[in-house]
Structure 1
Amino acid sequence: MDIAALDAVQIELAPGSQVILPMLLAVLMFAVALNVHVADFAMVKQRPVRFLGAAAAQILGLPLATLGLLYVLNPPPSIALGMIVVACCPGGNVSNFFTHLSRGDTALSVSLTATSSLAAALLTPISILFWTSLYAPADALVDAIEVSPIPFVLQMTVLLAVPLAVGMGIAHRYPRLAHWLRPVFLAAGLFGLAVMVVGGVASNWALFTATAGTVLVIAMIHNAVAFGVGTLSARALQYDVAGRRSVTFEVGIQNTGLGLVILLGQFEGVGGAAAITALWAVWHLFSGGMLAGFYRGLDAVRAQKSARTAP
């Protein structure tokens, strides 16, 4: 079945979803903020040029690479919109786990996640509108949905900034409370999002399952490009091995939960966009785990070679 059919699909949500979705967005951002501390930004002072370069790789490099990929793959407009939304989202905390697992620079990873999460309050809505305007099919789709730029940016900024500020305040003043609250709010937000997505997809289940294979391939290619942008940027910035792994995971692992909420709440749940974002959310966990395993294996091989050549 042609994936272009997804352009015409709109995920139908339950009554009251226009109230529930902003609440879910606030809950997810609050959960993220509970894990952000002032100390996480220490890297900005220690290595400002390299750090800002790594942050730029995620905030600017990935959307730019995504734009280039769109012109190569020429996917349906709704798929393109989903790819752009994913690329404009901040990094996810899962990147910190994969960085630690692969023996990367965890402190750098945490700092980059905190920075992109903080910047997301303003940059994510602006970036989505900017990069979609540079790809005509996605731009036409956004116009058809009738997304008003100024209200969209203002609403998204408030919904992202307020819970972010409150969460960081609690993390700073009451770290033990933040440590206890975070998994509760994160689980509640993800569960609510999952219920809404599954319920909405059920009405178009046959179409989504028929096109899932093709959409997954696009998500896999996009994710591979994201990892590539991170690796190449880290090399250009002359990071050591641990630093390169951190930047690679930070650019390759995105907060797709945030992307799904934005698509459902602000872009009327366009089928193709929601499909690729949801598959991205699943796939980057597998790809991140495989990449971390590859790095660990590479370390083992290098250790064996060093042992053989040691006097």
Structure 2
Amino acid sequence: MDSPLVSVGLPLALAVIMFGLGLSLTVDDFTRVVRHPRTVGVALACQLIVLPAAAFGLVLLFDLPPLLAVGMMLLAASPGGTTANLFSHLFRGDVALNVTLTAVNSVIAVFTLPLITNFAIRYFDPDESGAVGLQFGKAVQVFAIVLIPVIIGMIVRRTSPAFADRMDRSVRIGSAVVLALVVIGTMVAERDNLVSYLADVGAVTTLFCLISLTAGYFVPRLLGVDTRQSIACSMEIGIHNSTIAITIALSVLDSTEMAVPPAVYGVLMFPLAATFGWLITRRHTRESSGTESAPTTA
């Protein structure tokens, strides 16, 4: 896909999305890690260890072709984004924790995303590893399109908080529109292969999303994290920033096939996350009602 949309449009669109993320962040969002070290540590362990391992296992289970397999690993290595914050808000999660996790994950992903992607390329497609791997120069591109716009957005918020507040809603809406256009554009470009790609990765991306949401909620709960923070972890871990994965696949690695899993996931994650959020919220409501109505003994 050698076109201006890929070479210029996608990185620019992602930069706008990450700039919008930066407008919502402050230094305190990073220092909050110190106040909630266990919760953040559990969430990061799920994000950085459990999810790549789950994606790797699913890729082997479904025996995906090499480039689609790399695309799945690229998706697994991508951090959460502002969409996770929105879903957390809708289902009464700890949105402040979401913001913190998004901020920390975005920084860590600059380093872990090239590592996981290069591992996947070498494992699944070793003959092409030298040609399409994320070498140092390409890793710098990842840094430029992921982290620099966030930093600029944070600077704008610090110097002009009123302007950042005014822009926040518009940028969030614009980000959602951009995400939809990116996913639709990728699908349209591959329309001749769309049915076969859905057959290849529809099931695996659905399972990956459900595993991500489930692990993000129940692992923290099992380790004593409260319900609101567990909901936040679930949305952060279960809703990946597929725009990052698509942009890197198309404009950095120059592979349309690698972009297919995150594009399909970008469509499926909305109904899956909404359904999961409704179910855990309903479960929590029932548990709370049961506790309140339980008879007390003398």
**TM-score, length of structure 1 as denominator length:** 0.83
Q: State how far apart, in whole Å, the 2-side matches of 1:68 and 1:213 are.
A: 18
5+ residue gaps in structure 1?
A: 1-11
Where does residue 276 of structure 1 map in the other structure? 261
Residue 293 of structure 1, aligned match among 272, 278, 286: 278
CA distance 1:41–1:254, change in 2 (3 Å) = same
The answer to whether the Cα contact below 8 Å between 1:96 and 1:110 also exists between their aligned partners in 2 is yes
* Letter matched to residue 247 of structure 2: V
CA distance 1:84–1:174, change in 2 (3 Å) = same
Q: State how far apart, in whole Å, the 2-side matches of 1:22 and 1:197 are.
A: 14
5+ residue gaps in structure 2?
A: none
CA distance 1:237–1:174, change in 2 (3 Å) = farther
The answer to whether the Cα contact below 8 Å between 2:209 and 2:238 also exists between their aligned partners in 1 is yes
Residue 254 of structure 1, aligned match among 219, 240, 248: 240
Where does residue 36 of structure 1 map in the other structure? 25
Where does residue 14 of structure 2 map in the other structure? 25
**TM-score, length of structure 2 as denominator length:** 0.86
Helix, strand or coil at the partner of 2:64? coil
The answer to whether the Cα contact below 8 Å between 1:231 and 1:247 also exists between their aligned partners in 2 is yes
Measured against aligned partners, the alpha-carbon deviations of 1:126-150 in whole angstroms (never above 9, x if no partner) come to 33224544xx22454544x433511
Q: State how far apart, in whole Å, the 1-side matches of 2:268 and 2:185 are.
A: 21
Q: State how far apart, in whole Å, the 2-side matches of 1:187 and 1:103 are.
A: 21
Residue 14 of structure 1, aligned match among 3, 13, 16: 3
- Aligned-pair CA distance for 1:208: 0.8
- Aligned-pair CA distance for 1:259: 1.2
The answer to whether the Cα contact below 8 Å between 2:88 and 2:95 also exists between their aligned partners in 1 is yes
- Aligned-pair CA distance for 1:83: 1.0
- Aligned-pair CA distance for 1:241: 2.4
The answer to whether the Cα contact below 8 Å between 1:256 and 1:277 also exists between their aligned partners in 2 is yes
Residue 48 of structure 2, aligned match among 59, 72, 76: 59
Q: State how far apart, in whole Å, the 2-side matches of 1:243 and 1:85 are.
A: 26
1:163 aligns with 2:152: no
Q: State how far apart, in whole Å, the 2-side matches of 1:197 and 1:96 are.
A: 20
Measured against aligned partners, the alpha-carbon deviations of 1:51-109 in whole angstroms (never above 9, x if no partner) come to 22322321232112222222222211122111111111111222222223333333222
Helix, strand or coil at the partner of 2:149? helix
* Letter matched to residue 260 of structure 2: A
The answer to whether the Cα contact below 8 Å between 2:216 and 2:238 also exists between their aligned partners in 1 is yes
Measured against aligned partners, the alpha-carbon deviations of 1:181-224 in whole angstroms (never above 9, x if no partner) come to 34444555665665566455435423213442442211101112
1:101 aligns with 2:87: no
Where does residue 69 of structure 2 map in the other structure? 80
1:123 aligns with 2:109: no
The answer to whether the Cα contact below 8 Å between 2:197 and 2:260 also exists between their aligned partners in 1 is no
* Letter matched to residue 158 of structure 1: A
* Letter matched to residue 89 of structure 1: S
The answer to whether the Cα contact below 8 Å between 1:31 and 1:183 also exists between their aligned partners in 2 is no
- Aligned-pair CA distance for 1:279: 1.5
Q: State how far apart, in whole Å, the 2-side matches of 1:229 and 1:102 are.
A: 17
Count of aligned residue pairs for this structure pair: 296
* Letter matched to residue 55 of structure 2: T
Where does residue 4 of structure 1 map in the other structure? none
The answer to whether the Cα contact below 8 Å between 1:27 and 1:189 also exists between their aligned partners in 2 is yes
Q: State how far apart, in whole Å, the 1-side matches of 2:88 and 2:185 are.
A: 34
* Letter matched to residue 241 of structure 1: T
Q: State how far apart, in whole Å, the 1-side matches of 2:275 and 2:185 are.
A: 31
CA distance 1:31–1:63, change in 2 (3 Å) = same
- Aligned-pair CA distance for 1:255: 0.6
- Aligned-pair CA distance for 1:257: 1.2
The answer to whether the Cα contact below 8 Å between 1:26 and 1:163 also exists between their aligned partners in 2 is yes
Where does residue 224 of structure 1 map in the other structure? 210
* Letter matched to residue 306 of structure 1: T
Q: State how far apart, in whole Å, the 2-side matches of 1:26 and 1:284 are.
A: 22
The answer to whether the Cα contact below 8 Å between 1:37 and 1:172 also exists between their aligned partners in 2 is yes
Q: How big is the alpha-carbon RMSD for the aligned residues of Structure 1 and Structure 2?
A: 2.7
Where does residue 243 of structure 1 map in the other structure? 229
Q: State how far apart, in whole Å, the 1-side matches of 2:5 and 2:290 are.
A: 61
Where does residue 8 of structure 1 map in the other structure? none
Q: State how far apart, in whole Å, the 2-side matches of 1:101 and 1:191 are.
A: 19
Helix, strand or coil at the partner of 2:147? helix
